[in-house]
Each structure stands twice: as C-alpha cells, then as structure tokens.
Amino acid sequence: MLLELSIRNLAVIESVKLSFHKGFHVLTGETGAGKSIIIDALSLIAGSRGASDLVRYGQDKAEIEALFDVPENHPVWEVLNRIGLEAAPHELLIIRREINAQGKSVSRINGQLVNLGLLREAGEWLVNIHGQHEHQSLLKAEAHIEWLDLFGGKEIAESKGAYIQAYEEYNKLQKQLNDLKEAGKQALQMQDLYRFQVEEISDAKLKPGEDESLSEEKRKLGNAEKLFQNVNDSYEGMYANGKALDLVRKAVQRIQDIADYDAPKLQPVLEQMQSAYYQLEDAAYQLRDYRDQIEFNPARLDQIEDRLSLISSLRRKYGENVVDILAYLGQIKNELSALDHKEEKLQELESQLKDKHNECVGLAGKLSALRRSAGLRLAEGIERELKELHMERTKFHVNIIRLDEGKEPGDGSVRLNRQGMDQVEFLIAPNPGEPLRGLGKIASGGELSRIMLAMKSIFAKMDQIPVLVFDEVDTGVSGRAAQAIAERMARLSSDCQVFSITHLPQVACMADAHYYISKAVEDDRTFTKVRDLEESDRTEELARMLGGVEITETTLHHAKEMLALAIAQKTAYRKENQQIMA
C-alpha cells in the first residue's frame, strides 16, 4: 500500500505531505482546486513523462516522493532485482522523482538512480490510474488476450509457455530456411569464388606461425656477415688470443695466493672473481659455437623472400596473418560444403519446419480451448459484477476467433503469432436488443465507468497492483448507479488501496479516509492545500456536495444520515467477507 506521498513545488502545490491508510480514499473539493495534481504526482511516481510546466512558477524544480509498503512476495521485487537494483523485500520501498525547470527529470528507487523506462517498469506494478476517457489497456482490443490469459491463471500460463517455446523454435527454423533460400540466388557465383579461394590457399600449404619464423630466419641470413664479424671479434678478444681471459685468470690466482691472510674480506671477493671468470669462459665457448653455425646461403634467402611475398599476397586478401588465413579457409570450406549440399539442407529444413509448425498448431489449439473455457467464466463474472452496478441486462462476451478467420485461403497452413492462433476482444451490449460491440465503442460515460470498475473488480486480485486510482470515473452517473459504484469501490478496497477523485456524495460517504482539496490566494500567489477530514469536517463537506455553496440544517442532517448508513453498509459486508474467509 501507499503509506506517504510528499509533493513540493508541483503546479500550484507548494508543499504537501499526506499519510494514507488501508481501504478506500476519496479526494473532493471545488473544480480547479488541484485534485488532479495529486493524481499527476502519483502518475509521475509510476513513470509518466514530466514537463517543465509542472514546476511551480519561480521554482527550480518539483519534487515528489512516495513511500510504499509492499508484500515480500509481490512481483515488483522480482522486477527490481531483474533491472539490477538493490532492494530488500522486507523493507519499505521509496520512489523519488525530481523535475527541473527545463523539463529534465531525475528518478530514484531506494536512493538508486534509474531512467524513466526502468521507473515505469517498476511503477506499473505499484499504481494503476484510471481516468474517464483514458485509453487504458482494458479498452485496447490488442491487450484483451493478455487480460484473458491472466484470468486463466496457471493452467493457461503453462500452456502458453510451452507454445511460445515451440513458436520461437519455429521462427528460428524459418529464418534458417529463408537465409538458405536467399543464399541460393548467388550460389553459383559464390561456389566458383569459394573454390578458387580454397584452391589458392590450399596450394600455398601454409603452417601456423610460418610467417613469423620465416621473417626471423630472413633477418639472420640477411645479416650473416655482420653477425659473423662481430661474434668472431668478441670471441677472439676474449679467448683465442689469450688476452682478456688470461688477464682475469692471472688476477684470480694472485688474490687466491693472499686470500688466507685476510679471509673475511678477501674470500668473498675471490669467489666473485672466480665466478666471473667461469662465466666469461662459458660465454666465449658459446660465441665460438654460434659463430661456427652462422650460415651464408643467398639461395635460401631468395627462397624465403619468395615465400614471404606469397604469404603477403594472401594476407592482403584473406587475413592479418597465417592463422587468420587458415581460419578463413576453414570457414569457406564449410560455406562451400553448405552450398554443394544446399538442396539436401533445404529439404531437411522444410521437413523440420513442417513438423514444428504442426507441433505449434497442436499447442495453440490446446491454448485456444483453455482460453474459450476461461472466456466463458470471465464473461459470467463480469456480468455478475455489472448486475451489482445496476446494469442487470448487460451482456458481456469474450470474442475469440482464429487469426486466419475471414482471410483469403493461402497455403492451407494455420496462421500463428506469438500469442497462438487466437485474437481476442471483449464485447458488450449494455441494452437489450443492441448488438455486441467493442468496449472502445461504448458511448455512455456512465456505462464505461461501471464496466471499467467491474473489470477491475475481477482483475484486482490477479494483477496484484496495490494502489488503484479512479480519476472522476463516476462522471455522468447519479442515483442508484452512483450508489452502486460507491459500494463497489468500497468492496474493492478490501483487495487493494483505492483512491477516487469524485464530485458525488454517494461515493465520498463510503470512503475510509476523506481528503479535502482547497485553493487559496496569498500575496498574489495561488496555493493548494490538502486536509485529512475528521468526522465533523466530513459531514460539512458532504453537506456542501449535496447542497452546493450554502450548507443548511437539512443538508447537514442528510450528510450525517449518509455517513451513518455508509458505516453500517461497510460493517455488514466486512463481516460477510470475514465469514467467507473463515
């Protein structure tokens, strides 16, 4: 439920902080007082787009903050976890929205920044706002199939999941088949090209790393004379002429003769000198061996240069190095094999596609049967709700037809989409003798209000949205119908927290909490104020709603009677609910 709502500098609201309770809440006040701004604030919390004109004139930004207490098993926690937000289900949920004077907004969930899309994804699980003429999902025919599936519960969910998995596999096979057919248009050209490339690369008999090893060998052969001269000079200077190493050896012998006289200091020096001598002697031997292995081979150098030139030519065509060229060779061999066996692959894919399509049709048929059964139950439930809203003779029908119904015959296969083989639309006939029509074509605002309320009563327990807002959906309704709407909203508040902006005293008296919105002008500035009405204040507000500006003893008495009757009605059906739960 929504525990608190704090609003600062939003339109004519300077600062308002509201605390809410369980049950049914109403917001009343004169037209233009700012009741809709409270709903706008909730809409912004749920992820609607903000605009600079929402910021109170002269202020830098508008701020809205909402505090929710959401059950640990509520789907919003899974949504927050999926989008990467740290949120503990045992804690309260805080959503904060800021809109600056340039129209840019900043949103946070439990202190963590989120973009508008992520806020909307979470917000649609928390707040559902219904307005008199808003195009809600219930009025969109394309969304009706989702509502029907939701009503069908676990059985339809499992059947639909199995169908979607098969349908996705079907689409993958279809794409493979289409790609192969498209490739077939250029198959002959590609086959000739691939064969030439395979032959060219294969004839080169490349080996991984060959280009690096040949380049290294080329450097040695190209600089053989310099290598020989420098290595030989070093060796001759160190050993062959007996110069450097002989001097070091004699120096070692002299220190060795006197080391015992001052062993602590001379012995370490002697060991260093002996080690250096042995290392220099070993280095001289290695230089001699290296010198003797140096090769002077101009013919081999020419061979290497020719080989590197061939590799360079292949690199320009097929890859950065020999490894890349060989990888490309493997790729085009596979492509060539696929082209050579294209017809066999086409036949195999077409057979698999046909089998998968038949599987999808079977699963879609099972899903369709479950939907038709659920559709009958849903229609019965809606008609039952409408009777309580004084639309006793209204007919409601869940119309389910196949996607290919009424279409020109094609290849004889059943038409499918991700939802199955069905298209669904909710139809209604408010008056006897009238044909069934789509919900969006209902002309009467009063009828539309009651239909929306009936449907939300059916789905409130299923969609698990904790806050349900009706923005003047009772417009155009009066008398018994208004009383029925009020009672239905009050009953609905046992499943979720219900808010309603209303001008009807019949609705206001049924509320568990009543907020009065007023407007005042101070120092040439307009301010909107919100009061949580006590019982005496509620009586006066109901009297105003009944009689207009002037409040009389008669309207006050009538208002008290309405409140007393409302309390009695709510007590009665709450006892009824407790008995049902027991």
Q: Is there a domain that residue 52 lies in?
A: yes
The total domain count for the chain is 2
Find the distance separating the first CA and the last CA of the chain, reported in whole Å.
24
pLDDT over 70 (residue 406): no
Domain C-terminal end among 294, 320, 346 = 320
Q: Is there a domain that residue 497 lies in?
A: yes
Predicted local distance difference test score (pLDDT) of residue 411 = 54
**Domain CATH number, residue 509:** 3.40.50.300
Q: Is there a domain that residue 483 lies in?
A: yes
Tell me: do 226 and 105 sit in the same domain: no
Q: pLDDT tens, 413-425? A: 789 999 999 999 9
Predicted local distance difference test score (pLDDT) of residue 135 = 40
Choose the most confident range, by mean pLDDT, from 235-249, 353-367, 443-457, 555-569: 353-367
Domain C-terminal end among 320, 345, 374 = 320
Q: Which residues contact 90 (CB under 8 A, 6 or more apart)?
A: 72
| Minimum mean pLDDT range among 27-41, 395-409, 431-445 | 431-445
State which H helix or E strand residue 507 sits in: helix 505-508
> Which band of pLDDT confidence, cut at 50, 70 and 90, is reported for residue 476?
low
Q: pLDDT tens, 99-109? A: 998 888 999 99
With beta carbons less than 8 A apart as the criterion, state whether 165 and 504 touch: no
CA distances from 256 to 26, 153, 272, 279, 451 (A): 109, 99, 12, 18, 113
* pTM of model > 0.85: no
Q: Is there a domain that residue 436 lies in?
A: no
* DSSP annotation string for 320-354: SSHHHHHHHHHHHHHHHHHHHTHHHHHHHHHHHHH
Q: Is there a domain that residue 165 lies in?
A: no
Tell me: do 117 and 225 sit in the same domain: no
Domain C-terminal end among 320, 336, 366 = 320
Tell me: do 3 and 121 sit in the same domain: yes
Q: Is there a domain that residue 20 lies in?
A: yes
455 vs 509: CA distance, rounded Å = 23
pLDDT over 60 (residue 136): no
Tell me: do 9 and 102 sit in the same domain: yes
With beta carbons less than 8 A apart as the criterion, state whether 80 and 87 touch: yes
Q: Tell the residue number behind the tokens 């208002």, with chain if given.
A: 559
Q: Is there a domain that residue 423 lies in?
A: no
> Which band of pLDDT confidence, cut at 50, 70 and 90, is reported for residue 509?
very high
Give residue 240's domain range.
210-320
Tell me: do 22 and 120 sit in the same domain: yes
| Minimum mean pLDDT range among 264-278, 372-386, 446-460 | 446-460
Q: pLDDT tens, 137-177? A: 567 788 889 889 988 988 999 999 999 999 999 999 999 88
> Nearest to residue 365, comparing CAs of 138, 135, 159, 552?
159
Q: Is there a domain that residue 370 lies in?
A: no
